[in-house]
Structure 1
């Protein structure tokens, strides 16, 4: 076995472990006690887990972590908000948010990778990428509420608006944690 082959296997193993760890983190953030402000969408920390996966791991591994979390939940493990699971969650009123999480992790992950490759440590730029990710998540959520909850567009947008303040706070926390992780492990994103 050559050194190159060994390095590739170790790298793949590390990637797999990171994806699994962030999928588990997202699950924990999802099932922690939730606040229900409506009959459709609870407030949890899952947005923090999703954004952190992308911001720390980059687009590919971050979106894979979110996809793994979604697949585990779809398969029946109680990893969604309020300990729910199964395909009905994905096809229900909150399904749009869950689909949006995948693309949100991808967007903030791309931003993190670009910043890492440029050697640009400014957290404000990661925050901007995170804002774009939140827009993607919330647009998907509004569409899901409109189509699956039977709400009108204005009702869906109004319900969604109640989550923005909390998600902006979660984004600040994401950027602070991701910046600390990248200071501690500066090559984490550069090797992608």
Structure 2
């Protein structure tokens, strides 16, 4: 497995980034690619997970090892695939996810796209007591400072890529539009907070 890739961040998309290493551009699916929007052109180290199936070969990338480990635990749960795990991590609140699992808070978990009551119960059964990194210590996930800019359209595209429906997005759109001068990353975080409340 490819443990990590260090290279130049070439560009970002709603569901992935492209990292150039030794003249090869690696497409890496990320929970929220827009956290990298101010780092295009910088040298970055992305911790990766290589997903292999008969019909797909994909790379998933994370800012740190703990985030990747949580992703790998989530995809081992029946009913949670890579896309579903990314949607959970994209919320930006992995510590709250871990706490919800430990306290058996099914209501919180079912707010994520594709997670029904049965899957939420399965997540709790499979992972409760196995998330020490997230529940026993504070985990610092650094994010770069954001430069204010319009980004609602990109944020909506990112939410669709994460699996949220148009009906859900339309409900929170007025609140997003009332926020002024936010970056795309900030709009996504705000939208996810609204969707999870």
TM-score, structure 2 as length reference: 0.30
**Higher strand fraction: Structure 1 or Structure 2?**
2
**Higher helix fraction: Structure 1 or Structure 2?**
1
Tell me: higher relative CO, structure 1 or 2? Use CA pairs within 8 A at least 6 residues apart: 1
TM-score, structure 1 as length reference: 0.30
